[in-house]
Structure 1
């Protein structure tokens, strides 16, 4: 028979685990926001249904059959126990046992359906991706990887089980992003309506990054002291302009003055005394001296993003990629890249070498040409090398997570991407707003199309 379930995984999690956590030392699971629920269920012993994951051990009674897979009663009990700990830790009362059991059962069923769908879609998580995610979780918890492992063991969870559960969460997240986002349609009319709304205008309003120095003046200061403070403010401006120095160097030059930064704030969140001046300044510009009740101020607009002025620096670049593989390790790949670099230095044609040697099949046909790229689109090592390479210059071989690269910068330009930036913000906001409804629809379809036999 097919059982109609009442909750999606998202709803169930909110129903049975939401609420403020009590103060004091929490479990490691509760400190990791990105995988909060995943880590909370690490000790449940849940396993996956396909051969690439740990096989289930049917040592107890079957709680449910989901298509060709099963959920064991012990899995349900383990999850219930963990959810109870979360609820009690939050200070909330436990729901009736039959309600909690049903909610957990619903959750496990929906998880299993998504994992089965991911298996059919061929979704895999590489060891490199998993290692990076585990490292990020440890970092967000304020721990080294070794400390993270120790904390898991102290909570009774093996590191291997933790990695497996994180892998599950990554698979579920990926299948959701792939399939649910594909179902979401956003029209040009929706984008324009959002951009014209008060909410949209607030979202695309420019943000400012400001550095400031204050020369304090007390309310009881003599006219001479006030005039002296004003001269000091002018001296700050003169030094800042003439030396074109960094804010850190400036602050060190005038240690007796108050200095600080305001990082990425919209105009309504900037002190009103500064807001009008900042809104008329260009990136890198210094203000005139500004008088307030506490003294004199000098501002510098360090950076600006959003609004009608969203300048992106783009680089026309081409590259040759040599990847390590089953027949060569990283050092051997580097040796090949070094040999190609020497040929380029001896006058070989970059495009011809790229066509015949690069492991980037997407750009090989174009002689390694990647087109116009911004640093934000690229992995850090590639972006840094591209930024530091002059026009027509060829970089020495350098390594990224993909292998060994040689790049050549062909051109550079600045492009105002304000319109594209605003539309991207609008689409992202609309997509997030639609995602949960579409997720619920998709999960319900999965349940409607599945064979679900709950035996508890």
Structure 2
């Protein structure tokens, strides 16, 4: 699903401020201008300026690729509008991200940056954001990611036959292609005049690229209507199976470095840039599986988080003093999935029970009992029993094949969903007014 939208870090560090920052700005400067109204929400000039500055800073070494300031402003504003619409839809659907999941995600971001949480706080402040605003941005992106997952689960169906057919068509290696994408979008039910205008535009853009007046990335930033415009149209590496048939047909006669002729698809007219290709050989894959048992004290209306912590501490003390974990779990655990099995969670890969469990389990030795740890639903104990290496080559191949088919179907469907979301919304853009 990560391909449906630019990455989490891209939006966190480059695009806009969250709703909390908007409210703060309104309190600090009641006369600040509004650049867009999105349903009952607003986007402020300060939000847009911050987003534009972040994009400009990210491309400091490639300023020649940036479109004129007025064009860049409008492109960034479109990104902010689409983020706001998705957050509104997610809220209407009841999609939420709890504090525990948020803290774990921020911890992973810091780890990826090779920094501690305190160092991350300092970097955020240096970038001109409060830490609370940063946390809200991360929460917003997690909510949007959850919206995407919900969309795929409800709209994209992959049959076992499709997976079988895809695997049967593959050889011992898997070709991957690095693509760039530029879209001149057309509305549903476009008129002949609209089609003609879009065709002239895509022809003109390709001529600019062909004459060397602009490279593909710069053209995508300036002219593309796709969500990857501010990334120069970069679609990343795709397996050949993930690429829509329309593109596959064009790529068959292209060499790396070339740009296609204009292509007409369901979303409009497009150009593709064949950046590079590589072979990914298939190999035997193994995964470490864990056998563990756990118990939980649930937090709810009748049990506060503090009361649950006191109870889990007492249960751990009993187990540490020699009582059988399974007996204690059957008596006191609120986990209805494992309680009757004495807390036995079976064999599973590290991530199967979520990040909270994974973080703790990976730090334990076989036979070791964890300290109490929290999740959004309560307090937990885990005892790691043993580990094993499992050959998952066939399962991994089928999983990748399913993900490939999902990605192929979901890209076009999600673009259509976003267009529909925008078409149905009340949006009043006020740039230049």
Q: TM-score, normalised by structure 1?
A: 0.57
- After TM superposition, the structure 1 = structure 2 runs for residues 242-253 of structure 1, keeping only pairs within 5 Å, are none
**Partners of 1:339 and 1:86 in 2: how far apart?**
54
User: Offset of 1:111 from its aligned partner?
Assistant: 0.9
2:44 aligned partner: 72
**Partners of 1:152 and 1:383 in 2: how far apart?**
29
2:173 to 202, 205, 208: 202
CA contact (8 A) 2:293 2:344 kept: yes
Distance verdict in 2 for CA 1:100–1:407, change over 3 Å: closer
User: Offset of 1:187 from its aligned partner?
Assistant: 2.3
- After TM superposition, the structure 1 = structure 2 runs for residues 111-260 of structure 1, keeping only pairs within 5 Å, are 111-198=83-170, 201-203=172-174
2:360 aligned partner: 381
2:401 to 426, 438, 442: 426
Distance verdict in 2 for CA 1:48–1:434, change over 3 Å: farther
1:298 aligned partner: none
User: Offset of 1:408 from its aligned partner?
Assistant: 8.7
2:318 to 319, 332, 339: 339
Is residue 443 from structure 1 mapped to residue 422 from structure 2 by the alignment? no
**Secondary structure of 2:338 counterpart:** helix
Q: TM-score, normalised by structure 2?
A: 0.59
2:295 aligned partner: 320
User: Offset of 1:419 from its aligned partner?
Assistant: 3.1
User: Offset of 1:427 from its aligned partner?
Assistant: 1.0
Distance verdict in 2 for CA 1:69–1:100, change over 3 Å: same
Aligned residues: 311
User: Offset of 1:185 from its aligned partner?
Assistant: 1.7
**Secondary structure of 2:67 counterpart:** coil
Distance verdict in 2 for CA 1:350–1:105, change over 3 Å: closer
Is residue 83 from structure 1 mapped to residue 55 from structure 2 by the alignment? yes
Distance verdict in 2 for CA 1:438–1:56, change over 3 Å: farther
2:78 aligned partner: 106
Distance verdict in 2 for CA 1:310–1:142, change over 3 Å: closer
1:405 aligned partner: 381
Distance verdict in 2 for CA 1:49–1:443, change over 3 Å: farther
**Partners of 1:416 and 1:138 in 2: how far apart?**
32
User: Offset of 1:442 from its aligned partner?
Assistant: 1.6
**Secondary structure of 1:131 counterpart:** helix
CA contact (8 A) 1:181 1:435 kept: no
Task: Extract unaligned runs of 5+ from structure 2.
Answer: 176-280
**Partners of 2:133 and 2:102 in 1: how far apart?**
13
**Partners of 1:88 and 1:380 in 2: how far apart?**
37
2:334 to 359, 368, 374: 359
1:295 aligned partner: none
**Secondary structure of 2:142 counterpart:** helix
2:326 aligned partner: 350
**Partners of 1:441 and 1:175 in 2: how far apart?**
15
**Secondary structure of 1:90 counterpart:** helix
The Cα RMSD (Å) is: 3.9
Deviates more, 1:102-111 or 1:358-367: 358-367
Distance verdict in 2 for CA 1:64–1:336, change over 3 Å: same
**Partners of 1:359 and 1:146 in 2: how far apart?**
35
CA contact (8 A) 1:306 1:421 kept: no
**Partners of 2:286 and 2:48 in 1: how far apart?**
53
Distance verdict in 2 for CA 1:375–1:92, change over 3 Å: same
Distance verdict in 2 for CA 1:312–1:137, change over 3 Å: closer
User: Offset of 1:115 from its aligned partner?
Assistant: 0.8
**Partners of 2:310 and 2:55 in 1: how far apart?**
49
**Secondary structure of 1:419 counterpart:** helix
CA contact (8 A) 1:334 1:404 kept: no
User: Offset of 1:105 from its aligned partner?
Assistant: 2.4
User: Offset of 1:377 from its aligned partner?
Assistant: 2.9
Task: Extract unaligned runs of 5+ from structure 1.
Answer: 1-8, 14-32, 205-304, 390-394
Is residue 36 from structure 1 mapped to residue 15 from structure 2 by the alignment? no
**Partners of 1:362 and 1:148 in 2: how far apart?**
37
CA contact (8 A) 1:47 1:56 kept: no
User: Offset of 1:10 from its aligned partner?
Assistant: 7.3
**Partners of 1:374 and 1:126 in 2: how far apart?**
24
**Partners of 1:79 and 1:375 in 2: how far apart?**
37
